[in-house]
Amino acid sequence: MTSLDVTMTVNGRTVTGRVEARRTLADFLRKDCAATGVHLGCEHGVCGACTVVLDGCTARSCCTLAVQADGAEVMTVEGLADGTDLHPLQEAFWARHGLQCGFCTPGILLTMRELLADNPDPSEEEIRESLSGNICRCTGYQFIVEAVKDAAAVLRASSADRG
């Protein structure tokens, strides 16, 4: 059994650690980087709660070993807000009651961020399809879908302002 040194950027901060090969990226982020916004539900790639952004694309951190992310750039939900300014998705989830217990929320926010980057004006069906890998047991998804639509409109308006 080997332990290995890993170095990665987590929410803009360079972190190094020595991990067992079997340590998942999720456990590394939670236990070694204190990024406890990475939530672990099923630990086998079904629930989506542990979703992070790995080198620019979403990934399930429970289905990724920490050693696989050596040298990578990782963003967790902790990296989404700009200081105390919430990301438009976070604002919309708050305004629209897009969460109750909040367990699934970090994974959903990062998954929806990727959706809106690829598709700034998704239909309700596209939002629901994109949400299908993230299990929420509280909301029934309706308020999540509404929040994503609101956030999409805000993001479109702000990119139009910049444009």
Answer yes or no: are the C-beta atoms of 64 and 25 closer than 8 Å: yes
Q: How far apart (Å, rounded) are the C-alpha atoms in residues 28 and 118?
A: 29
The yes or no reply on residue 139 touching other proteins (CB under 8 A) is no
The yes or no reply on residue 65 touching other proteins (CB under 8 A) is yes
**Which of 8, 59, 75, 77 touches other proteins by CB under 8 A?**
59
Is 125 exposed, middle or buried, given 0-12, 13-18 or 19+ CB atoms closer than 10 A? Answer: exposed
**Which of 9, 15, 17, 20 touches other proteins by CB under 8 A?**
20
The yes or no reply on residue 73 touching other proteins (CB under 8 A) is no
**Which of 11, 64, 105, 139 touches other proteins by CB under 8 A?**
64
The yes or no reply on residue 105 touching other proteins (CB under 8 A) is no
The yes or no reply on residue 60 touching other proteins (CB under 8 A) is yes
The yes or no reply on residue 142 touching other proteins (CB under 8 A) is no
The yes or no reply on residue 43 touching other proteins (CB under 8 A) is yes
Structure tokens at 130: 């994109």
Furthest C-alpha separation in the chain: 54
Residue 115: alpha-carbon gap to chain centroid? 11
The yes or no reply on residue 129 touching other proteins (CB under 8 A) is yes
**Which of 8, 10, 24, 147 touches other proteins by CB under 8 A?**
24
Answer yes or no: are the C-beta atoms of 48 and 108 closer than 8 Å: yes
